[in-house]
Amino acid sequence: MRLALVALAWFLLLAPAAARGAVLIEMTVNAAPLRVVIDRPQQLVLLASGERRTWFDLKEGLVYHHAGDGPARRAHARYRPGHDRPPPYRIERFGPGPIVAGQASTYQVLFVDERICAEMMLAEWMRPFVDPAIRAMATIQQLQGGHAGDACGGIPLVTYAAAGWPLLAGKAHHPTLATRTIAFDYTPAPDELTPPAAFVEVPLEALRSELGGYGW
């Protein structure tokens, strides 16, 4: 009950800021740094790591990718929920977790049968504000394909995020996802969320290796 009241207080405090500005998340995915900027009203998501930039226009079903000195490329891409056969995951909530990146969390464990696949610290109230990023990253994971024969390998982000944003997820000694910074009133730099005006049209499969560089 106490944790629910804390989450509600954060929601009432930060929801107006999240509605006005963009959301910034700085995190690691399998130890690779990733910067995520989310414009929820416009359904735009920027993923950035090093010189690599990928813009998702979720309204139009488009992804733009640019890295280095090469031309920007654009492909049609939409997340297809339910397209893949769901593995037999079970998630159990064990109680309150620690404060992670300034956010209260709940401690939850993901099982396949009786095998522990991952431990998670989730921020449940954040889910609606970061949903565009979840769909963008899930699109990348669908493109990469699953880990055949091992349900605990390559757990989909939508599974981790089913009940909230995964502030931490994976094994205790080696987290798959680790959130470092969250800002709900982020002001993007001019044109930061604007996809390139000049690009080469390619099939989505042509971006598979580049998008896999984000750590998925």
Is the per-residue pLDDT at 37 higher than 80? yes
CA dihedral 120, 91, 85, 202 (to 10 degrees): -20
- Which residue blocks in 21-172 are alpha helix, DSSP H? 127-144, 157-160
- Domain count along the chain: 1
The parent domain of residue 31 ranges over 2-212
Tens of pLDDT, residues 181-204: 999 999 999 999 999 999 999 999
State the pLDDT at residue 88. Answer: 80
State the pLDDT at residue 82. Answer: 64
State the pLDDT at residue 148. Answer: 63
State the pLDDT at residue 17. Answer: 46
CB 162 within 8 A of CB 126: no
CATH number at residue 103: 2.50.20
- Determine the average pLDDT of the residues in 41-47: 97
- Determine the average pLDDT of the residues in 36-52: 96
State the pLDDT at residue 172. Answer: 82
Distances (CA, A) of 204 to 83, 124, 130, 160: 17, 32, 23, 25
State the pLDDT at residue 192. Answer: 96
Tens of pLDDT, residues 89-127: 899 999 999 999 999 999 999 998 889 999 999 999 999
Tens of pLDDT, residues 127-165: 999 999 999 999 998 898 766 667 788 788 889 998 899
- SS3 call for 127: helix
